[in-house]
Structure 1
Amino acid sequence: MTHPVLAVDNLTVQIGRRRIVGGVSLTVEPEQTLGIVGESGSGKSMTVLAATGLLDAPGAVVEGSSVLAGEQQLIGASARTLRSVHGGRIGFVFQDPGTSLNPLLTIERQITESLETHRNQTRRQARARALELLEAVGLPEPQNRMNSYPHQLSGGQRQRVMIAIALACDPELLVADEPTTALDVTTQAQIIDLVRDLQRDFGTAVVWISHDLGVIGEVADTVTVLRDGAVIERADVDAIFTAPREPYTRELLTARPVLGGDGPPPVPPDAEPLLEVRGLDVRFPVRTPTGRSVVHAVKDLSFSIRRGATLGLVGESGSGKSTVAAALTGLAVPDSGSVTLDGTDVLRVRGAQRKAIRRRISLVMQDPFASLNPRVPVGVSIAEPLIVHRLARGRPQRDARVGELLDSVGLSASFASRYPHELSGGQRQRVSIARALAVAPELLILDEATASVDVSVQAKVLDLLLDLQRELGLTYLFIGHDLAVIERLSHDVLVLRGGEMVEYRPAADLFTAPEHEYTRALLAAVPPDRSATRSS
């Protein structure tokens, strides 16, 4: 191929009076990966959506040129032309598979649909290809998962399905918008290898959008750094990591947590356990093509968390991490075991005592946009637990408390009147933390609380969590797949695999000398710090 797979020239996007993207140009060659980096709101996704003809915002005006394979102009192309291109010649993997997958169709049908449409395959041929793709992206028990629906899979498993759909027709161009954000490090490594294989075998070009510079350093050949819809820096990947020219690029590199960094301040050696879990066992009934079955999600798990300390819970998708959080907060009913909070068995209390004990445990979920009510201002969401637990008398006292909570997470009281869609990802996550703090909990469970925000925001949220722990004496259960983040926050680390404990040790010991082969595999899969040579 003599032409670039995608050539974008002077692309501008304007919505109403606001210019979102201003004069962006970029080129992607066959077998090349272009990494696009920037903070939330920098225009990364908007640029690529506009360039590929997927932008459908009311009032949006897109100008410039975007040519696919030297022959097809995508700016201003007809809907019929774009339908023939999307899914066939251009594959897309978006950040949130929960909103990208059709909840009414099985996994099999969502993959075979594009094969039948763009490759004219029979149902049998498409089904065989779908199974092959699910095996390639590492989905557990792919044969049994073919008839599953998206809600029956974990977040990481849904993302694997999205990647399988995008790769189904061997596209000329793969657009990957934060494709590994929700995935653990081993699955992330598998996906990176899978994309490399696709490039080698079919000459596929890739546009990889990410806030994780570690991943960009692993996959990209060239990097474009965006800020406020404009190109700040463009260079080969080695130059970006070893000799960045722009201060903004250096800020992004500095904000990224890396293994071997600082851990949290130590906990007093005489700190007593706040939470003790013994023999926790959780099973879920599921339907399979061969009938009803049982998923043994958590198996005889025991651990404790010292008051004022952080326990990091690590494991691959489907390892049972979120099920543990659900069991501790009453969202899932364990089959056996005990959960004791400061001497009170959380699983056995009833009535008013149950309500009181639940107030002492709060949960911050991974996706703040999904966990906040989009129909009400965020101040109403923060005030809700105050009303439920009768922690404020009257509107004035409640509003004052909401203002205090917003201030504690670094937001002004004026944010109370804003709606979730008016906030950035980092601001929404801060609101979620403020709401969790409303009941003055002793234990805060953070389920992938920084996975969906960019590195600069993530650094601020981590600092915020450490400050809150020091000031309020909070105890954390931090669930995550980013081992550098786990190291930054955790005093102790528990590694889960298939619902079973693999390793449970002080964080400093585990990261310095992991004992179990699986823990070593997790650490080996973490992208290396390519900027190390710059700082040495």
Structure 2
Amino acid sequence: MTVLTVQDLGVRIGARTIVDGVSFEVAREQTVGIVGESGSGKTMTVLAATGLLDAPGARVSGSSTLGGDEPVQLVGASPRTLRSVHGSRIGFVFQDPGTSLNPLLTLERQITESLETHRRVTRREAQARALELLDAVGLPEPSTRLHAYPHQLSGGQRQRVMIAIALACDPELLIADEPTTALDVTTQAQIIELVRTLQRDFGTAVVWISHDLGVIGQVADEVTVLREGGVVEQAPILDVFDRPRDDYTRDLLAARPVLNASGPQPVPDADPLLEVDGLDVSFTVSTPVGRSTIHAVKDVSLRVRRGTTLGLVGESGSGKSTVAAALTGLAKPDRGTATLAGADIFGVRRADVKALRRRIGLVFQDPFSSLNPRARVESSVAEPLAVHRLADGAAARRARVAELLDLVGLPAEFAQRYPHELSGGQRQRVSIARALAAEPDLLILDEATASLDVSVQARVLGLLARLQDELGLAYLLIGHDLAVIRQLSHDVLVMRDGEVVENRPAEELFSSPEHEYTRALLAAVPPVRPRAAV
């Protein structure tokens, strides 16, 4: 039975066409994957098809019919009609559960809301159903979590709650919009398997949106590839992987980071640049039962050799970013030593802090929030030059900014643009240029490609490899995706619950992992072949 039929869907905002003539169908127990880069129209297509599009001046054409015993035309439907199907017949799981969940309401209230609205059940019945759903999505200790708030859960747990809310009324259709993009690989694998299990148990039809064909290969039966709002390819998943017809689809497949790709050449005689021994970091936080101490990093030791990359990998909450925060002065260590080319990082004199900090650059995961939205690119990149007095006068700074932009592959005219005028990949290149402005010895990359499309990620990783060869940079590459870590790293350190579980040369670790946790991380990476081929 066809659950959703979309025909010749179009979206225009002003004079611009955002979605152009998109058609697809999804049947009961089927998953349709919609894939493409940012700006391809994936999310806009699904929002328009389900009646959620609320952009000023938007005009939607074509048709979108929710099938079943009571067919509903969603394009042009009244608000009352849409309210009756959203949450009841159509469930939604969005990319960021942190912004989708209400921080002021308990999990119980957020799950029972749609039940009380659409199913007219009693409060007791709704509570029992909420408990059943939390258990079904695999949330630990569901009975004690009912009265918890979203901030008390991890990212993966919040996404499980989002799925529970979406499935509360047994919807015929589930919309999953990049539901695993921000999650580590093990949690991503669990969420994928969870949705497949629930789909099998409840017969739900799924539309799964993603920029990553590796993820789509693990969930989808049919694939629609979008580019600039139009369909460039539409076929069963095996045909897309084995016989892609469009060059754009082939480019997306080629851009996926895969574990069996070769990494950088070993550098056996490189001297240590950064040396950390016995690092401990703890935080005091407030909890419902009083103040508590979180031991985030426990006795961590590591080495980053000159001109090489150390990959620091682990799940969310493993302590990776806390190590970076301690090295850059954003967190105070409780114990341990750290030296950069022999200079003490933790015990540096106040007068020498500025000079030492210049030698360590930091690139964050989200370039949009790390760049000043009110400052032009030129101003953001030139700031380290002025602070560290690396260029005398405005003319010299402008010339150096142009050199840095050229170094990261951006035209000089980008200096006059604001962050909102750039794509995600371009903003990350600006962030790298700003980090390089201070001419650092070590660059810390904290999930620097995690939020990028796979094609943009591939270009940024290629840029980082080129800069390392040309400038002799050392990288501390922090990430949860072992396929990305494999591509750049000479050595790999694996963390779990604040502790080091494995620290070895990359070639050895990937060919014969010793620790069970490392093997679990490797097993969670989406394989090259789609699930349908197994």
TM-score normalised by structure 2 residue count: 0.93
1:181-196 equivalences under 5 Å are 181-196=181-196
Other-structure match for 1:510:
509
Give, as a single letter, the amino acid of the residue that structure 1 aligns with 2:277.
Answer: R
Q: Secondary structure at the match of 1:48?
A: helix
Is the CA contact 1:225–1:249 (under 8 Å) kept in the aligned structure 2? yes
Is the CA contact 2:11–2:20 (under 8 Å) kept in the aligned structure 1? yes
Other-structure match for 2:528:
529
1:107-506 equivalences under 5 Å are 107-120=107-120, 126=126, 129-130=129-130, 133-134=133-134, 136-137=136-137, 150=150, 155-267=155-267, 269-506=268-505
Is the CA contact 2:37–2:453 (under 8 Å) kept in the aligned structure 1? yes
- CA distance in structure 2 between the aligned counterparts of 1:6 and 1:311, rounded to whole angstroms: 47
Structure 1 residue 156 displacement after superposition = 4.5
- CA distance in structure 2 between the aligned counterparts of 1:139 and 1:442, rounded to whole angstroms: 43
- Call closer, same or farther: CA 1:356–1:531 in 2, change over 3 Å: same
- CA distance in structure 2 between the aligned counterparts of 1:112 and 1:326, rounded to whole angstroms: 39
Is the CA contact 2:238–2:532 (under 8 Å) kept in the aligned structure 1? no
Paired residues in the alignment total 531
Other-structure match for 1:43:
41
- CA distance in structure 2 between the aligned counterparts of 1:5 and 1:192, rounded to whole angstroms: 21
Q: Residue 91 in 1 paired to residue 91 in 2?
A: yes
Other-structure match for 1:68:
66
Structure 1 residue 93 displacement after superposition = 2.2
- CA distance in structure 1 between the aligned counterparts of 2:399 and 2:325, rounded to whole angstroms: 31
Is the CA contact 1:157–1:317 (under 8 Å) kept in the aligned structure 2? no
Structure 1 residue 143 displacement after superposition = 6.5
- CA distance in structure 2 between the aligned counterparts of 1:203 and 1:414, rounded to whole angstroms: 53
Structure 1 residue 388 displacement after superposition = 2.9
Is the CA contact 2:314–2:320 (under 8 Å) kept in the aligned structure 1? yes
- Call closer, same or farther: CA 1:217–1:503 in 2, change over 3 Å: same
- Call closer, same or farther: CA 1:281–1:445 in 2, change over 3 Å: same
Is the CA contact 1:368–1:428 (under 8 Å) kept in the aligned structure 2? yes
Other-structure match for 2:518:
519
Unaligned segments of structure 2, at least 5 residues? none
Structure 1 residue 377 displacement after superposition = 2.5
Compute the RMSD of aligned alpha carbons: 2.4
- Call closer, same or farther: CA 1:445–1:59 in 2, change over 3 Å: same
- CA distance in structure 2 between the aligned counterparts of 1:63 and 1:316, rounded to whole angstroms: 43
- Call closer, same or farther: CA 1:78–1:376 in 2, change over 3 Å: farther
Is the CA contact 2:217–2:531 (under 8 Å) kept in the aligned structure 1? no
Of all paired residues, the percent bearing the same amino acid is 75
Give, as a single letter, the amino acid of the residue that structure 1 aligns with 2:251.
Answer: E
1:4-42 CA deviation, whole Å, 9 max, x = no partner? 211111100111111111100011111111011112211
| Stretch deviating more after TM superposition (151-160 or 180-189) | 151-160
- CA distance in structure 2 between the aligned counterparts of 1:394 and 1:104, rounded to whole angstroms: 50
| Residue 6 of structure 2, aligned match among 5, 8, 13 | 8
Structure 1 residue 148 displacement after superposition = 5.7
- CA distance in structure 2 between the aligned counterparts of 1:112 and 1:291, rounded to whole angstroms: 29
Q: Secondary structure at the match of 2:354?
A: helix
1:209-248 CA deviation, whole Å, 9 max, x = no partner? 1122111111000001111111111111111111112222
- Call closer, same or farther: CA 1:445–1:114 in 2, change over 3 Å: farther
Give, as a single letter, the amino acid of the residue that structure 1 aligns with 2:193.
Answer: D
Structure 1 residue 207 displacement after superposition = 0.9
Other-structure match for 1:32:
30
Is the CA contact 1:185–1:525 (under 8 Å) kept in the aligned structure 2? yes
- Call closer, same or farther: CA 1:348–1:107 in 2, change over 3 Å: farther
- Call closer, same or farther: CA 1:101–1:208 in 2, change over 3 Å: same
- Call closer, same or farther: CA 1:42–1:394 in 2, change over 3 Å: same
- CA distance in structure 2 between the aligned counterparts of 1:503 and 1:212, rounded to whole angstroms: 28
Give, as a single letter, the amino acid of the residue that structure 2 aligns with 1:296.
Answer: H
- CA distance in structure 2 between the aligned counterparts of 1:508 and 1:529, rounded to whole angstroms: 19
- CA distance in structure 2 between the aligned counterparts of 1:280 and 1:162, rounded to whole angstroms: 36
Structure 1 residue 411 displacement after superposition = 0.9
- CA distance in structure 2 between the aligned counterparts of 1:46 and 1:473, rounded to whole angstroms: 43
- CA distance in structure 2 between the aligned counterparts of 1:116 and 1:346, rounded to whole angstroms: 57
1:428-459 CA deviation, whole Å, 9 max, x = no partner? 22122112212111111111111111121111
Give, as a single letter, the amino acid of the residue that structure 2 aligns with 1:508.
Answer: E
| Stretch deviating more after TM superposition (374-383 or 128-137) | 128-137
Give, as a single letter, the amino acid of the residue that structure 2 aligns with 1:295.
Answer: I
- CA distance in structure 2 between the aligned counterparts of 1:104 and 1:270, rounded to whole angstroms: 55
- CA distance in structure 1 between the aligned counterparts of 2:328 and 2:6, rounded to whole angstroms: 49
- Call closer, same or farther: CA 1:89–1:225 in 2, change over 3 Å: same
| Stretch deviating more after TM superposition (113-122 or 237-246) | 113-122
Give, as a single letter, the amino acid of the residue that structure 1 aligns with 2:389.
Answer: R
1:127-179 CA deviation, whole Å, 9 max, x = no partner? 55555555555556766766665556555454444444333433322211211
Is the CA contact 2:218–2:530 (under 8 Å) kept in the aligned structure 1? no
- CA distance in structure 2 between the aligned counterparts of 1:533 and 1:147, rounded to whole angstroms: 40
1:328-353 CA deviation, whole Å, 9 max, x = no partner? 22222222222221112212224231
- Call closer, same or farther: CA 1:127–1:508 in 2, change over 3 Å: farther
Unaligned segments of structure 1, at least 5 residues? none
- CA distance in structure 2 between the aligned counterparts of 1:31 and 1:524, rounded to whole angstroms: 26
- CA distance in structure 2 between the aligned counterparts of 1:245 and 1:281, rounded to whole angstroms: 53
Give, as a single letter, the amino acid of the residue that structure 1 aligns with 2:332.
Answer: V
| Stretch deviating more after TM superposition (272-281 or 19-28) | 272-281
Is the CA contact 2:237–2:532 (under 8 Å) kept in the aligned structure 1? no
- Call closer, same or farther: CA 1:507–1:80 in 2, change over 3 Å: same
- Call closer, same or farther: CA 1:326–1:149 in 2, change over 3 Å: farther
Other-structure match for 2:50:
52
1:341-377 CA deviation, whole Å, 9 max, x = no partner? 1112212224231122112112111112222222332
- Call closer, same or farther: CA 1:314–1:248 in 2, change over 3 Å: same
Structure 1 residue 306 displacement after superposition = 0.6
- CA distance in structure 2 between the aligned counterparts of 1:441 and 1:131, rounded to whole angstroms: 52
Q: Secondary structure at the match of 1:5?
A: strand
Is the CA contact 2:278–2:299 (under 8 Å) kept in the aligned structure 1? yes
- Call closer, same or farther: CA 1:309–1:65 in 2, change over 3 Å: same
1:269-306 CA deviation, whole Å, 9 max, x = no partner? 22111111111112222333333322221111111111
Is the CA contact 1:137–1:190 (under 8 Å) kept in the aligned structure 2? no
